[in-house]
Amino acid sequence: MSGGMRLSRAVEAIPPSGIRQFFDVVSRMEDVISLGVGEPDYGTAWRVREAAIYGLERGRTTYTGNSGLLDLRRAIAAALGDQYGLWYDPERELLITVGVSEGLDLALRALLDPGDEVLILDPSYVAYPPCVSLAGGVPVWTPAHAEDRFVPRPDELERRTTPRTRALLLNYPGNPTGAVPTRAELEAIAAVVRRHDLVVISDEIYDRLSYDAPHVPFATLPGMLERTLLLNGFSKTYGMTGWRVGYAAGPAPLIGAMTRIHQYTALCASRQAQEAAIEALRVPEREIQATVDDYALRRQAIVSGLNRIGLACHMPAGAFYAFPSIAATGLDAHEFATRLLHEARVALVPGDAFGPGGAGHVRCAYATSLPQIEEAIARIDRFLDRLGASRAPEVVEAAALSAD
């Protein structure tokens, strides 16, 4: 793998991303409908692009301070305060990062000593285990079951907590499952956190994409503000994946430690991206809501379509991913995804890319247009016909799960 050059053992131990390999193949194929990558299809609003262009025209091409533009930190603090009643000090409790990705890496490096354990839900976002390992920590999978809407059980979290457990990594609305715990479920998780004196790294990048109930930031739960690091960014809500800008909000000592690493490794996030992010926060609420409403329609279309053709799928409460079971087909997730790609030209991601608990599922991103979603469903249906696969009965949702 290293081509003869000796590389660090930590890096050698990290498997290449299954998703990347798969999508390298997809990019070389024609007429593929991709339900693969979690990337909003509508791009960045023009007013946001113009803010960056304007800054460039004015010659604003320098570094910013390590913590990021104070105007951006103030705008984020005001938005979090107005929206969630979370009031962070923009000077000491906020850091602008190169996306949530950098915030995650900084947080883990600032918190972990070698061998410290981090609880990670299984399945969850592909970057979590390698980032923990690269920071010298040990990722510890905690199952989140389909029958629990992929919300972890407090007793399972408790069972995996040891004296070495330092942090719990949460992500809701979740990738790849779309899971959103109720407030009561979050409070039960918070009780475990309190009992074992853990830090919570809460990746809330899909906070605006919670369809059935208002988003509850973990830091708003009683006693959690002082032990929670909130990570968020502009990639998903504002269609800004390529700009690479996000933020971390949390206790001043942790933000200070993260800033010390960031000042030597990234220096600062791109100035143009930061200026664009200030403008993004001025996008009227009704425009954001229109996007969310559009995703809600796509969610309905994909989930009912998948169930109709016999791939049992729970209704995800947030994000833009459906996570149907393919168990009834008799194929494993990898075989299913590979054959579907080559035989029916639909790309989706094998569920076990997100942890062993994802086996038997595939992830379908529905950040694509309704006609594309419908065509993808029709192609999968024909593929199942040719396969002679048995079909699962439709998932009937339990009562209103979002009720707190």
Distance CA 46, CA 42 (A): 11
Span 15-44, contacts to ligand PLP by CB under 6 A = 38
How far are the Cα atoms of 111, 160, 332 from residue 157, in angstroms, in the given order?
Answer: 20, 5, 28
Nearest to 121 by CA among 187, 212, 203: 203
Site string for ligand PLP, 176-215 (x = CB under 6 A): ---------------------------x-x----------
Taking CB under 6 A as the rule, does residue 100 contact ligand PLP?
yes
Taking CB under 6 A as the rule, does residue 354 contact ligand PLP?
no
Strand positions, DSSP E, 344-396: 346-347, 349-350, 362-365
Among 99, 324, 351, 357, binds ligand PLP (CB under 6 A): 99
- Structural contact between residues 9 and 208, judged by C-beta atoms closer than 8 angstroms: no
For 203, the enclosing helix (H) or strand (E) is strand 199-203
Distance CA 73, CA 78 (A): 9
Distance CA 324, CA 360 (A): 9
Question: Would you call 237 helix, strand, or coil by DSSP?
Answer: coil
Among 44, 171, 270, 368, binds ligand PLP (CB under 6 A): 171
Span 125-154, contacts to ligand PLP by CB under 6 A = 125
* Residue found by looking up tokens 């065509």 in the block: 375
Name which of 171 and 259 has its Cβ closer to ligand PLP.
Answer: 171
Taking CB under 6 A as the rule, does residue 175 contact ligand PLP?
yes
Residue type, position 147, single letter: E
What are the tokens at 28? 């070389």
Least Å distance between CB 48 and ligand PLP?
A: 15
**Interface region with ligand PLP, contact rule CB under 6 A, candidates 98-106, 133-141, 154-162, 187-195:** 98-106
**Interface region with ligand PLP, contact rule CB under 6 A, candidates 24-32, 63-71, 233-241, 263-271:** 233-241
For 113, the enclosing helix (H) or strand (E) is none
How many Cα atoms sit within 13 Å of 198 on the Cβ side? Answer: 29
Taking CB under 6 A as the rule, does residue 241 contact ligand PLP?
yes
Name which of 33 and 367 has its Cβ closer to ligand PLP.
Answer: 367
Least Å distance between CB 2 and ligand PLP?
A: 26
Q: How many residues belong to the chain?
A: 404
Least Å distance between CB 225 and ligand PLP?
A: 21
Among 34, 64, 101, 325, binds ligand PLP (CB under 6 A): 101
Taking CB under 6 A as the rule, does residue 318 contact ligand PLP?
no
What are the tokens at 196? 């074992």
Span 242-261, contacts to ligand PLP by CB under 6 A = 246
Site residues, ligand PLP (CB under 6 A): 38, 99-101, 125, 171, 175, 203, 205, 233, 235, 241, 246
